Every structure is written in C-alpha cells, then in structure tokens.
Amino acid sequence: MLRRIYDWVMRLAHHPRAAWALFAVSFTESSFFPIPPDAMLIPMVLADRRKAWFYALICTIASILGALLGYWIGHTLYETVGKPIIAFYHLEAAMQGFIDDFNEYGLWIILVKGLTPIPYKLVTIASGVAGFALTPFILASIVTRGFRFFLVAGLLYFFGEPIRDFIERRLTLVTTLFIVLVVGGFVALKYLG
C-alpha cells in the first residue's frame, strides 16, 4: 500500500498543477492543516531535482502567507476560530505556554520553533494572540521557513539519487519516521510546550 501511495505522489509531482497543490499545503499548514509541506516537497524535488529551488520558494512564500493568516486568526478571531483549531490538536496547555514565552523570548520563539517539527500553526496563532509585532514576525517567519525549505530542497538537490534510492528501498521505515516526527512534534508541544 505504501508503495502505491509513494508511486502516486511521484506521478503527482509531474502533474501541471503540482506546484499549486504544494502552495496550498504550505499555506494551510501554517494556519490550520496538520500535514507539513515536506510530505509533498520531498517527492516533488526527488521527481525533478532541477526544480528544487523553485519548489522551496513556493513553500516559503505560501508558508509566510499562511503564517499571516494564522497570525490574523490569533489576533482577531482567536475566540471563534483559533481556540477550536488549538482544541482540535489538544494543544490548549501548549498555547498558554507559548503566549507566556512570547512575553519573555518573543522573536526567539518564532526562530527556534519554525525549524522544528512543532506545528507552525501554533506559533503563528500564538504570535497573533500575544500581539507580537507584525514586521519582526514576518521577517522571522521568512528566515526560519525559508531556511527549513531551502535546506530540505538543497539536500535533495545535491544528494537526490542516493536519498531517493534509500527512500524507495526503505519506504516503510522512512514513512514511519516521518509520521513519528509529525506526531512527535504535536506530542512534544503538548507535554513540553
């Protein structure tokens, strides 16, 4: 089953609208969607390494725009939209910890958490709730998200074939590790938040 899904994603990577799908996933992940864009970025770069930088740029731009939506949700719609999103992921305690940390560490929270598997939507919504200054928020998001996506794309660009061979030979292991990272990010946030 994993092989069929992997093959489907690799075929999808060649679809004329694949870049738009990557944009949509990157945008929504920064504000409410649970799946990180890496789930699409990695197979798309492996399918066509010449477009690695283009795909990283798409992820970065879409993620920043989605971060602005997350910030707006936190700043303006927290009671009606933000709280249900946070509750859906069972991150209420982590949210309060983030808001408290923003008062003390501000910019560093965005820079550090944006590179980890911790869901970025929590960072963006918490930034809005805490009333973090918008310009530093945008700049920190550009730095952290751009670094993350360009690092992934760069590693795949330069070491693509060995990585692709490794993934294809050990698909179950790679999928399991990816799921563990995503779930681990949510769990770490919930209990260590």
- pLDDT of amino acid 139: 93
Name the token pair of 100: 């408290």
- pLDDT of amino acid 63: 95
- pLDDT of amino acid 166: 67
- pLDDT of amino acid 27: 95
Summary count for the chain: helices (H), strands (E): 10, 0
The rounded distance, in Å, linking the Cα atoms of 154 and 45 is 9
Statement: residue 126 has pLDDT above 60: yes
Mind listing the pLDDT tens digit for each residue in 26-39?
A: 999 898 887 788 87
Whole-model pTM over 0.85: no
What does the pLDDT average to over 112-135?
Answer: 84
Per DSSP, the residues of 52-119 read HHHHHHHHHHHHHHHHHHHHHHHHHSIIIIIHHHHHHTT-HHHHHHHHHHHHHHTHHHHHHHTTSSS-
Statement: residue 16 has pLDDT above 90: no
Mind listing the pLDDT tens digit for each residue in 34-83?
A: 778 887 888 888 888 899 999 999 999 999 999 999 999 999 999 999 99
